[in-house]
Each structure stands twice: as C-alpha cells, then as structure tokens.
Amino acid sequence: MLKWLKNRRDKKKRKNTAKKVYSDGVRIIPRAEHGISRKNMDDSAIKVLSRLNKAGYEAYLVGGAVRDLLLGHRPKDFDVATDATPEQVKELFRNCRLIGRRFRLAHIHFGRHIIEVATFRGHHDDSGSGRQDETGRILRDNVYGDIEQDVWRRDFTCNALYYNIADFSVVDFVGGYDDVKQGRLRLIGDPDERYREDPVRMLRAIRFAAKLGFSIDETCQYFIREEGALLRDIPPARLYEEVLKLFHSGHAIECFAGLREFHLLEHLFPEAAVALDGNETGLKFLQLAMQSTDERIHKNMPVTPAFLFAALLWAPLLKRTEKRLDKGEPHALALQKSASAMVAEQVRHVSIPKRFTTVMRDIWGLQSRFSNRKGKRATAVFEHPKFRAAYDFLCLRARAGEISEEDCQWWTEFQKNSPEAQQKKVQPQKRHGRPRRRKRTSKIKD
Ligand code: ATP
Ligand code: MG
C-alpha cells in the first residue's frame, strides 16, 4: 500500500515536468519530417513505450530499430530506453523479468517475443562502478544516467537516435539523422578511444557497413587498421557470437571481404588467414559457401554455423593434412588428427561450441570417405546423418575447382539411382520411429 502511494506521488511529480528539455544544439526531428510511422513498428514495443510514458517516465525507441525504420527496413528487434529503473519497470509490467548482473535490464515478454528495456546508462569512470583496463577496455559499465549520457555509451551515430513516444519526434544528439540519410557509419566521439573501450565495435562497423551498404568514415577506417590486434583480448565466446552475426547477417560475402580488407581475419582465424592468402581456389570455395549461406538466409531457410566454419577452416585443414601425408600417414587418419589439433588451436581465438565442431569433423571426415564408391561402403557414407551437408560441401569444392566435377556428379547420380537411395526415398518413416544406433566410425576423441 505504502509502495502504491509512493508510486502515485512520484508519478504526479514526474507528470508535472513531462515536457522534456534538452541541451542546446540537440536536433529534434518532428514526425512530419522523419516520416516514421507507428504502423511499421512492433505492437508490443508501442505498448511498452506507451505504458512507460503514461506512468510518467521518459520512454524512447532506440538503437538499430530507429535506424532501420528511417531506412524503410523492418527492424530485427525493438529496444527501449527509459529513465525508469529496472525495478520501476518491473512494477509496471506483469510479464517482466529482470536479467543481467553487470547491468540490469528488463525483458518484457509477449509470448516468445521480448522487448528489452534498458535504463539510461551514465558515464563510467575509475572512481565509480564503471571500470576500464590498461588498454582502455570497459570492464564494468553499470551506472545509471540520463538520456544525454546514454548517447555516449552507444557506438555509431546511426545507432544513437531516440524516437520519443511522448511526441513521436526523433531526438538526435550526435548528427545520426544526417548520417543515416547519407549512408555514413561514424563512431560517436574519438574512434581510437571508442575502439579501445570495446574492440568488438570494429566487427560491428564491418557488419553494419555490409548490411546497410554504408561507407565507414575515414578516421574510423584508419583506427580499425591500426588497432585490430585489440580483438585478441576479447573472450573467445563473445567473438563467436559476433562472428556468427557477421556470417549469418545475409551479407556474409561482404562481411568476409571487410574482415580481409581491414586485416581482422588474422586476429580471429589466424590459420585460415595464412592458408587463404593468395589461395584462389580456397577463396573461391569459401565465396561459394558464403553465397549459399546468404541465399538460404534470404529465403528464410535454416543454416547451421557448422557448415560455414567447416568451410572457413578447410584451407588450413588441408595444409595441416598435407604435412601429415608427407610423413606417410593414411589419409583419413591424417585428416582426423589435423582436425583435432586445428580446432583446439582455433577455439583459443574464436570459440566454436562443441556441438558444431562435432558436425564440422563429420563433414570433413566424410570428404575422404566419398572416394568409397563400392557396395556397402558407399551405402554407409550415404547413410551417415551428415551426408547431405558433406555432399553439399563436396560439390562446392568441385565448383571451386579443387576436385573434379565428376566426384560430385557420381554422388548426385547415386542419390538418384541407387537402390539404397530409392529405398530411403520410399521408406523415410523407418528412419524416424526409433532412434537408430549408429556405429562410431570415427576414431576422433573430443
Ligand atoms: P541489429 O540490426 O544488428 O540489431 P543494432 O544497432 O540494433 O543492430 P544491437 O546489437 O541490437 O545492434 O544493439 C542495440 C544498440 O545498443 C545499438 O544500436 C547501439 O546503440 C548499442 N550497442 C550495442 N552494442 C554496442 C557496443 N558494443 N558498443 C556501443 N554500443 C553498443
Ligand atoms: Mg538490435
């Protein structure tokens, strides 16, 4: 009861100062000018914004959503920023969960759909609860602030526009509106400092440039080239998430080209960077793999990270395998041993979850088994659960000119004509009923 009375009093107090006043120089773009229509917005996001606003809080749609709406794209997610604390947000929404220890966020659940509500973040400094390491990287960032401070923790100007539900205007503190209109990607503040605070912003620059077709501002480009090595200090699990966003953005080809252009590939996939350097066939193969991933994403078809990572690490795997073959090891064994050693080395930079490295090894292992074209051995290859992915991989190798087209054609024909394949086609239900026990054919130990 007391809490309720207090909330009512706070609400009244806040309502009296509802009209927000910003510092001089802040640009307010009215609805008539920016043209964003609420029709293109997510209903749940509007509900959240409106309820916060009615309760007397400031409530803005922020980040990529405003940028994408201005560009006429459908945003991937709708993030909200407010001056309400996470606890205050929780009081307003029954479907709210608070998450995060470092910086608490409110997640408002609408079925499987989530609207993330963040309280404005303040400045971090050594004395407060924010902290940086010796390279300038932000280690803790858990101070609340106001909207004008919140802007400074965002990365690019195009990601720092605030759509104000109170009057439907877009608030621009850093020139983001013109940058969106002109297709410019520019970091807020001093690029050197901003990359040092969080080197992952270099990868974000490449992803946004590829995805939005924006050009990266020259100083921002310069410092990516200068400071790429800072990525080596980022935990491999976080880099995995970011790399996946690059490769599953639907613009993997452009993202990969960006990683090579700015010499970042060598910090993420050092062996691949060396093995692909000047390797035309290897690059062609990877290009084809990325093209097929991009096409699948544009068609809303499922993609597995295992396929692209297997493709990316194929050139260095071949290199390692060659060395073992020269020592006289049998092919399959040389490949398996090389795969184990290479994956162990790779996950120190960008970690790849084990459920995917297992599939990658299956795809690689099957490549050497595709030469088994007789009787039961061919059938065993065909019945492997990862046959389809491995076969696609094989055909891309053929298209890139690494192996003969005939290798791929033989298996294409096999699937069309062999009695085993026909049986599989007409009796697919048999394979679903009870899980089949599969003999381990591989000697690899995880
Ligand atoms: P996407 O279309 O990929 O979702 P986005 O711009 O919405 O792009 P998110 O990763 O969803 O990107 O982050 C939401 C917002 O949070 C960003 O627009 C940006 O303002 C801020 N942000 C996210 N990551 C960082 C970062 N590493 N440094 C600074 N600001 C960030
Ligand atoms: Mg987003």
The full set of domain ranges for the chain reads 25-182, 187-234, 235-427
47 secondary structure, DSSP code: H
What is the CB < 6 Å shell around ligand 1?
A: 63-64, 76-77, 79, 154-155, 159-160, 198, 200-201
CA 180/CA 157 separation, integer angstroms: 8
Catalytic member of 42, 68, 79, 83: 79
Pocket of ligand 1, candidates 154, 238, 297: which has the most ligand atoms within 8 Å of its Cβ, to mutate?
154
Q: Helices H, strands E: what count in the chain?
A: 23, 12
Ligand lying closest to the C-alpha of residue 173: 1
Higher-confidence residue of 371 and 417: namely 371
CA 188/CA 175 separation, integer angstroms: 9
Please name the CATH architecture into which domain 25-182 falls: 2-Layer Sandwich (3.30)
Sheet of strand 105-110, all strands in order from the earlier edge strand to the far edge? 27-29, 169-172, 161-164, 59-62, 79-82, 113-119, 105-110, 96-99
**Whether residue 13 has pLDDT greater than 90:** no
The confidence band for 3, taking pLDDT boundaries of 50, 70 and 90, is low
- Provide the CA 170 distance to its chain's centre, in angstroms: 27
CB 63 within 8 A of CB 159: yes
**Whether residue 9 has pLDDT greater than 90:** no
CA 169/CA 27 separation, integer angstroms: 10
**Whether residue 319 has pLDDT greater than 50:** yes
Catalytic member of 155, 172, 179, 362: 155
CB 102 within 8 A of CB 121: no
Give the residue whose CA is nearest to atom 28 of ligand 1.
155
Give the residue whose CA is nearest to atom 17 of ligand 1.
63
Token pair of 407, please? 């290798």
Q: What is the pLDDT of residue 124?
A: 62
In which region does residue 436 sit, left (phi positive, over 0), alpha (psi from -120 to 50) or beta (all else)? beta
pLDDT tens per residue, range 29-51? 999 999 998 888 999 999 999 99
How many Cβ atoms are within 10 Å of 349's Cβ, its own excluded?
19
Q: Which amino acid is at 426?
A: V
pLDDT tens per residue, range 177-206? 999 999 999 999 999 999 999 999 999 999
Q: Which amino acid is at 258?
A: G
State yes or no: is 77 an active-site residue. yes
Give the residue whose CA is nearest to atom 18 of ligand 1.
63
Pocket of ligand 1, candidates 159, 195, 244: which has the most ligand atoms within 8 Å of its Cβ, to mutate?
159
**Whether residue 1 has pLDDT greater than 80:** no
Q: Say if strands 131-132 and 113-119 run parallel, antiparallel, or are unpaired.
A: unpaired
Q: What is the pTM of this model?
A: 0.87
The alpha carbon of 160 and the centre of ligand 1 are apart by a number of angstroms equal to 9
How many Cβ atoms are within 10 Å of 289's Cβ, its own excluded?
25
173 secondary structure, DSSP code: S
What average pLDDT is seen over the chain?
A: 89
CB 61 within 8 A of CB 49: yes
State yes or no: is 198 an active-site residue. no
Ligand lying closest to the C-alpha of residue 74: 1
Decide: helix, strand or coil at residue 179: helix
The alpha carbon of 329 and the centre of ligand 2 are apart by a number of angstroms equal to 49
How many Cβ atoms are within 10 Å of 280's Cβ, its own excluded?
10
Q: What is the pLDDT of residue 358?
A: 97
**Whether residue 345 has pLDDT greater than 60:** yes
Higher-confidence residue of 371 and 47: namely 47
* Rg for the chain, CA atoms, rounded: 26
CB 165 within 8 A of CB 36: no
pLDDT above 70 coverage of the chain, percent: 86
Q: What is the pLDDT of residue 245?
A: 97
Nearest alpha carbon to residue 232 among 266, 255, 184, 194: 266
Report how far apart, in Å, the C-alpha atoms of 331 and of each of 179, 194, 232, 342 are.
Answer: 54, 48, 34, 16
State yes or no: is 79 an active-site residue. yes
CATH homologous superfamily of domain 235-427? cca-adding enzyme, domain 2 (1.10.3090.10)
